[in-house]
Chains A and B, each alone.
Chain A
Amino acid sequence: MTEMEHNQHDIDSLLRRSMAMPLPSLPPDFDQRVIRKVQPSSQPLVRYRQTLITTYGLVSVVVCTVLMRGQGLGWGTVAGMILGPLALLAITTPLWPTTKPVTTAN
């Protein structure tokens, strides 16, 4: 064994010992998580959910408007109380989820 090979052998052994650590791995649901993030929002289930949420929102707005007007509040106040929280919601969270089932298992 040459001097150079001997030197490399020493450091080679040291590196093998020093770097012998447990191997990290991805969590089992990693692939599914990524898939969920890249889904287009055109699936029937998603559309159904969107329709349901939209209908619920519209009905709520109408009911709230009728009730608040019934209490004698002005149109400006009614509009502010309904649109204010909606605007806040739109700013802070994405309105529509984008999910679609795709299998990542074999």
Chain B
Amino acid sequence: MAVATAESDAQLVARAQTGDQQAFADLLRRHSDRIFRFAVSILGREFVPEAEDITQEVFLKVHHALESFRGEAEFSSWIYRITFNQAVNLKQRVRFRTPHADETILHQLMSEDPGPDRQLETAQRDRALAECIQTLPEVYQSALRLYYWLGEGVGEVAELLGIPENTAKSYLHRSRQLLKAMLKERGFSCD
């Protein structure tokens, strides 16, 4: 009995380069969610619609440039790099724009914390933490969101950012150090 095996990215890319639209559709299906999550990790949770736009732009760009892709790097590394550049460029453009309202934080706080004082304190600290995260280098921010929000492992963080695993660990470690110091400076504890 024949067993159907999934084609590798390289095989799908080779077929897509000959104009096979189904191969491109397979690549899209395989990578779109990951690209979207990576874009969200760079832009932040207030810019989910923009992350969707970035994901679409990345695949349009990939489709356009597929013929020139020589396979010297992994296909996934190539599209992660395109995603990072696209998302960082967009972030520069929307940096001073008011983000979409994020009511999730308020809802979560209202439902979990016991008293109004505690709620206020937690809300202030979370707001301060979010602001501190925004001041970190892009790769640190992305690593934090991938790891803590989107639930990726250190290996996946490293793969998406195109860095060795030890470097990803180091980014997370350094981010935590910086955030701890920044929160302390603003008068918040981490307890």
Contacts and interface: CB of A to CB of B under 8 A. Distances in A.
A binds B: yes
B179 interface: yes
Contacts of A21: 45, 104-105, 108, 149
Among A38, A39, A106, max chain B CB count under 10 A is at A38
Contacts of A35: 21, 24-25, 28
B56 A34 contact: yes
A14 interface: yes
A54 interface: no
Given A12-B176, A26-B52, A31-B32, A18 B129 contact: yes
B22 A103 contact: yes
B190 A26 contact: no
Chain A interface extent, by class: 20 to 34
Nearest to B49: A24
B55 interface: yes
A71 to B, nearest CB: 49
A104 to B, nearest CB: 5
B94 interface: no
A11 B24 CA distance: 42
B148 interface: yes
Given A13-B190, A15-B176, A102-B25, A24 B48 contact: yes
Interface of A: 7-8, 10-16, 18-27, 30-31, 33-35, 37-40, 100, 102-104, 106
Top-6 shortest CB links A-B:
A10-B190, A19-B148, A19-B149, A38-B63, A24-B48, A11-B180
Interface of B: 19, 21-22, 24-25, 28-29, 32-33, 36-37, 40, 45, 48, 51-52, 55-56, 59-60, 63, 104-105, 108, 125-126, 129-130, 144-145, 148-151, 173, 176-177, 179-180, 183, 189-191
